Amino acid sequence: MKEGDDGKSKLRAQIDENLKRVYQEALEERIPDHLRDLLDRLRQKEAGK
Amino acid sequence: MTGQTDPRDDLPDHLSALRAFAISLCGDVSMADDLVQDTIVKAWTNIEKFTVGTNMRAWLFTILRNTFYSMKRKRKREVPDSDGLLAGRLCEKPAHDGRLAFNDFRRAFSQLSPEHREVLILAGASGFSYEDVAQMTGVAVGTVKSRVNRARARLSDILGLAEGEDPVSGADAATIAVIGAAGVRAA
Protein backbone atom coordinates (compact mmCIF):
# COMPACT_ATOMS: atom_id res chain seq x y z
CA MET A 1 0.00 0.00 0.00
CA LYS A 2 2.76 2.37 1.07
CA GLU A 3 4.74 1.46 -2.01
CA GLY A 4 1.75 2.21 -4.25
CA ASP A 5 1.35 5.67 -2.70
CA ASP A 6 5.04 6.26 -3.16
CA GLY A 7 4.88 5.33 -6.82
CA LYS A 8 1.86 7.56 -7.23
CA SER A 9 3.53 10.61 -5.75
CA LYS A 10 6.70 9.91 -7.73
CA LEU A 11 4.69 9.74 -10.93
CA ARG A 12 2.88 12.92 -9.97
CA ALA A 13 6.18 14.72 -9.37
CA GLN A 14 7.43 13.58 -12.76
CA ILE A 15 4.27 14.79 -14.47
CA ASP A 16 4.64 18.19 -12.78
CA GLU A 17 8.27 18.41 -13.73
CA ASN A 18 7.49 17.63 -17.37
CA LEU A 19 4.55 20.05 -17.44
CA LYS A 20 6.80 22.84 -16.21
CA ARG A 21 9.24 21.95 -18.95
CA VAL A 22 6.54 22.07 -21.66
CA TYR A 23 5.57 25.54 -20.46
CA GLN A 24 9.14 26.69 -19.91
CA GLU A 25 10.20 25.70 -23.42
CA ALA A 26 7.28 27.63 -24.90
CA LEU A 27 8.21 30.57 -22.66
CA GLU A 28 11.74 30.65 -23.98
CA GLU A 29 10.72 30.73 -27.63
CA ARG A 30 11.49 33.94 -29.46
CA ILE A 31 8.47 36.20 -29.84
CA PRO A 32 7.85 36.99 -33.52
CA ASP A 33 8.42 40.62 -34.53
CA HIS A 34 4.83 41.24 -35.60
CA LEU A 35 3.67 40.44 -32.06
CA ARG A 36 6.43 42.47 -30.50
CA ASP A 37 5.54 45.47 -32.68
CA LEU A 38 1.80 45.10 -32.17
CA LEU A 39 1.68 47.21 -29.02
CA ASP A 40 3.68 50.00 -30.67
CA ARG A 41 1.31 49.96 -33.61
CA LEU A 42 -1.72 50.15 -31.32
CA ARG A 43 -0.20 53.05 -29.44
CA GLN A 44 0.66 54.92 -32.65
CA LYS A 45 -2.80 54.35 -34.02
CA GLU A 46 -4.29 55.82 -30.87
CA ALA A 47 -1.92 58.81 -30.90
CA GLY A 48 -2.84 59.48 -34.51
CA LYS A 49 -6.55 59.71 -33.72
CA MET B 1 -3.34 62.92 -11.66
CA THR B 2 0.29 62.56 -12.68
CA GLY B 3 0.68 59.41 -10.57
CA GLN B 4 -1.89 57.55 -12.65
CA THR B 5 -0.27 54.95 -14.87
CA ASP B 6 -1.80 53.33 -17.89
CA PRO B 7 -2.26 49.59 -17.20
CA ARG B 8 -1.61 49.05 -20.90
CA ASP B 9 2.04 49.86 -20.21
CA ASP B 10 2.24 46.50 -18.44
CA LEU B 11 1.03 44.48 -21.42
CA PRO B 12 4.53 43.81 -22.88
CA ASP B 13 5.54 42.11 -19.61
CA HIS B 14 2.96 39.39 -20.23
CA LEU B 15 3.66 38.72 -23.89
CA SER B 16 5.97 35.71 -23.35
CA ALA B 17 3.65 34.09 -20.83
CA LEU B 18 0.62 34.64 -23.06
CA ARG B 19 2.36 33.06 -25.99
CA ALA B 20 3.59 30.13 -23.90
CA PHE B 21 0.05 29.53 -22.66
CA ALA B 22 -1.30 29.79 -26.22
CA ILE B 23 1.25 27.30 -27.58
CA SER B 24 0.61 24.85 -24.74
CA LEU B 25 -3.13 25.20 -25.19
CA CYS B 26 -3.45 24.74 -28.93
CA GLY B 27 -0.17 23.01 -29.81
CA ASP B 28 0.09 24.99 -33.02
CA VAL B 29 2.46 27.95 -33.20
CA SER B 30 0.73 29.87 -35.98
CA MET B 31 -2.66 29.52 -34.29
CA ALA B 32 -1.00 30.51 -31.02
CA ASP B 33 0.31 33.71 -32.61
CA ASP B 34 -3.16 34.55 -33.95
CA LEU B 35 -4.53 33.97 -30.47
CA VAL B 36 -1.96 36.21 -28.82
CA GLN B 37 -2.58 38.94 -31.38
CA ASP B 38 -6.36 38.82 -30.84
CA THR B 39 -5.87 38.80 -27.08
CA ILE B 40 -3.59 41.85 -27.11
CA VAL B 41 -5.97 43.81 -29.35
CA LYS B 42 -8.94 42.88 -27.16
CA ALA B 43 -7.06 43.78 -23.99
CA TRP B 44 -5.95 47.08 -25.50
CA THR B 45 -9.42 48.13 -26.60
CA ASN B 46 -11.17 46.89 -23.44
CA ILE B 47 -8.62 48.03 -20.90
CA GLU B 48 -11.29 49.89 -18.92
CA LYS B 49 -12.71 46.46 -18.01
CA PHE B 50 -9.49 45.58 -16.23
CA THR B 51 -9.57 46.35 -12.50
CA VAL B 52 -6.28 47.99 -11.57
CA GLY B 53 -4.60 46.14 -8.71
CA THR B 54 -5.94 42.74 -9.74
CA ASN B 55 -3.95 40.04 -11.50
CA MET B 56 -3.36 41.23 -15.06
CA ARG B 57 -1.89 37.93 -16.20
CA ALA B 58 -5.00 36.07 -15.06
CA TRP B 59 -7.15 38.62 -16.88
CA LEU B 60 -5.15 38.24 -20.11
CA PHE B 61 -5.10 34.43 -19.89
CA THR B 62 -8.87 34.48 -19.48
CA ILE B 63 -9.28 36.56 -22.65
CA LEU B 64 -6.93 34.21 -24.48
CA ARG B 65 -8.67 31.00 -23.48
CA ASN B 66 -12.11 32.44 -24.29
CA THR B 67 -10.79 33.53 -27.69
CA PHE B 68 -9.32 30.05 -28.18
CA TYR B 69 -12.61 28.26 -27.54
CA SER B 70 -14.59 30.53 -29.83
CA MET B 71 -11.92 30.24 -32.53
CA LYS B 72 -12.03 26.49 -32.16
CA ARG B 73 -15.81 26.40 -32.49
CA LYS B 74 -15.55 28.48 -35.65
CA ARG B 75 -12.79 26.33 -37.15
CA LYS B 76 -14.57 23.13 -36.27
CA ARG B 77 -17.21 24.02 -38.80
CA GLU B 78 -14.55 24.37 -41.47
CA VAL B 79 -12.08 21.54 -40.82
CA PRO B 80 -12.40 18.12 -39.17
CA ASP B 81 -11.34 17.99 -35.53
CA SER B 82 -7.64 17.25 -35.36
CA ASP B 83 -7.85 16.30 -31.67
CA GLY B 84 -9.86 13.22 -32.52
CA LEU B 85 -7.27 12.13 -35.07
CA LEU B 86 -4.46 12.65 -32.63
CA ALA B 87 -6.21 10.90 -29.79
CA GLY B 88 -6.71 7.80 -31.92
CA ARG B 89 -3.00 7.40 -32.38
CA LEU B 90 -1.38 5.28 -29.73
CA CYS B 91 2.04 6.11 -28.47
CA GLU B 92 4.54 3.39 -27.69
CA LYS B 93 5.20 2.21 -24.18
CA PRO B 94 7.75 4.26 -22.25
CA ALA B 95 11.22 2.93 -21.62
CA HIS B 96 11.14 1.14 -18.29
CA ASP B 97 13.89 3.09 -16.59
CA GLY B 98 11.36 4.66 -14.24
CA ARG B 99 11.62 8.07 -15.88
CA LEU B 100 9.29 9.68 -18.32
CA ALA B 101 11.00 10.51 -21.58
CA PHE B 102 10.19 14.13 -22.35
CA ASN B 103 9.27 13.44 -25.97
CA ASP B 104 6.80 10.75 -24.92
CA PHE B 105 5.39 13.13 -22.38
CA ARG B 106 5.01 15.93 -24.89
CA ARG B 107 3.25 13.63 -27.33
CA ALA B 108 0.92 12.37 -24.62
CA PHE B 109 0.22 15.94 -23.54
CA SER B 110 -0.74 16.90 -27.09
CA GLN B 111 -3.30 14.09 -27.12
CA LEU B 112 -5.19 15.49 -24.16
CA SER B 113 -8.37 17.49 -24.66
CA PRO B 114 -7.84 21.28 -24.62
CA GLU B 115 -9.71 21.44 -21.29
CA HIS B 116 -7.23 19.03 -19.74
CA ARG B 117 -4.21 20.76 -21.26
CA GLU B 118 -5.53 24.08 -20.04
CA VAL B 119 -6.05 23.04 -16.45
CA LEU B 120 -2.68 21.28 -16.22
CA ILE B 121 -0.80 24.27 -17.61
CA LEU B 122 -2.65 26.80 -15.47
CA ALA B 123 -2.63 24.91 -12.19
CA GLY B 124 0.44 22.75 -12.75
CA ALA B 125 2.96 24.73 -14.73
CA SER B 126 2.23 28.44 -14.58
CA GLY B 127 1.60 28.56 -10.86
CA PHE B 128 -1.99 29.81 -10.61
CA SER B 129 -3.98 28.77 -7.56
CA TYR B 130 -7.05 26.55 -7.95
CA GLU B 131 -9.13 29.60 -7.02
CA ASP B 132 -7.54 31.64 -9.82
CA VAL B 133 -8.07 28.83 -12.31
CA ALA B 134 -11.70 28.44 -11.22
CA GLN B 135 -12.29 32.11 -11.86
CA MET B 136 -10.46 32.08 -15.18
CA THR B 137 -12.27 29.05 -16.54
CA GLY B 138 -15.65 29.93 -15.06
CA VAL B 139 -16.13 26.74 -13.05
CA ALA B 140 -16.16 25.82 -9.33
CA VAL B 141 -12.91 25.16 -7.45
CA GLY B 142 -13.98 21.54 -6.91
CA THR B 143 -14.43 21.13 -10.66
CA VAL B 144 -10.91 22.44 -11.24
CA LYS B 145 -9.50 19.94 -8.74
CA SER B 146 -11.30 16.97 -10.23
CA ARG B 147 -10.40 18.11 -13.74
CA VAL B 148 -6.71 18.25 -12.74
CA ASN B 149 -6.96 14.72 -11.35
CA ARG B 150 -8.70 13.40 -14.44
CA ALA B 151 -6.16 15.12 -16.68
CA ARG B 152 -3.29 13.52 -14.76
CA ALA B 153 -4.94 10.11 -14.90
CA ARG B 154 -5.53 10.50 -18.64
CA LEU B 155 -1.88 11.46 -19.15
CA SER B 156 -0.71 8.41 -17.20
CA ASP B 157 -3.13 6.34 -19.23
CA ILE B 158 -1.76 7.53 -22.57
CA LEU B 159 1.78 7.03 -21.29
CA GLY B 160 0.88 3.49 -20.30
CA LEU B 161 1.41 4.15 -16.60
CA ALA B 162 -1.44 3.26 -14.32
CA GLU B 163 -1.36 5.76 -11.49
CA GLY B 164 -0.66 4.01 -8.18
CA GLU B 165 -1.33 0.58 -9.61
CA ASP B 166 1.07 -2.31 -9.53
CA PRO B 167 0.59 -4.50 -12.61
CA VAL B 168 2.01 -7.54 -10.77
CA SER B 169 -0.56 -7.46 -7.98
CA GLY B 170 -3.33 -8.73 -10.29
CA ALA B 171 -1.33 -11.84 -11.16
CA ASP B 172 -0.46 -12.34 -7.50
CA ALA B 173 -4.07 -12.22 -6.47
CA ALA B 174 -4.91 -14.87 -9.08
CA THR B 175 -2.07 -17.05 -7.87
CA ILE B 176 -3.21 -16.70 -4.28
CA ALA B 177 -6.76 -17.62 -5.31
CA VAL B 178 -5.51 -20.79 -7.05
CA ILE B 179 -3.38 -21.75 -4.04
CA GLY B 180 -6.33 -21.05 -1.76
CA ALA B 181 -8.67 -23.20 -3.85
CA ALA B 182 -6.11 -26.03 -3.94
CA GLY B 183 -5.83 -25.78 -0.18
CA VAL B 184 -9.58 -26.12 0.23
CA ARG B 185 -9.67 -29.17 -2.03
CA ALA B 186 -6.85 -30.85 -0.10
CA ALA B 187 -8.64 -30.35 3.18
Ordered by start, the domain boundaries in chain B are 9-79, 84-187
Domain total of chain A: 1
Chain centroid to Cα B48, Å, comes to: 30
Residue of B nearest to A26 (CA): B20
**Contact with chain A for residue B99, Cβ under 8 A:** yes
pLDDT for the residue A47: 87
Please check whether residue B33 is in contact with residue A32, taking contact to mean a CB–CB distance below 8 angstroms. Answer: yes
pLDDT above 80 for B171: no
* Domain membership of residue A10 as a residue range: 2-47
Average pLDDT over residues B41-46: 96
Residue in B21, B33, B152 nearest the CB of A15: B152
- Residue A49 C-alpha, separation from nearest chain B C-alpha, in angstroms: 14
- pLDDT tens for B8-21 read 999 999 999 999 99
Q: In Å, how far is B64's CA from the nearest CA of chain A?
A: 14
Inter-axis angle of helices B29-45 and B56-78, nearest 10? 130
CATH class as words, domain B84-187: mainly alpha
Q: What pLDDT is stored for residue B85 in this prediction? A: 42
In this predicted structure, the answer to whether residue A20 has a pLDDT above a threshold of 90 is yes
Cβ contact, residue pair A4, B166, below 8 Å: yes
CB-based contact B56:B7 (threshold 8 Å): yes
d(CA B88, CA B97): 26
Of A16, A17, A1, A14, nearest in space to B165 by CA: A1
Contact B16/A at CB under 8 A: yes
CATH fold of B9-79 reads: Rna Polymerase Sigma Factor; Chain: A (1.10.1740)
d(C-alpha B5, C-alpha B185), whole Å: 86
Model-level pTM greater than 0.90? no
pLDDT > 90: percent of chain B: 60
% of residues, chain B, pLDDT over 70: 72
Confidence of residue B72 (pLDDT cuts 50, 70, 90): confident
* Interface subset of A 20-39, CB within 8 angstroms of B: 20-24, 26-27, 29, 31-32, 34-36, 38-39
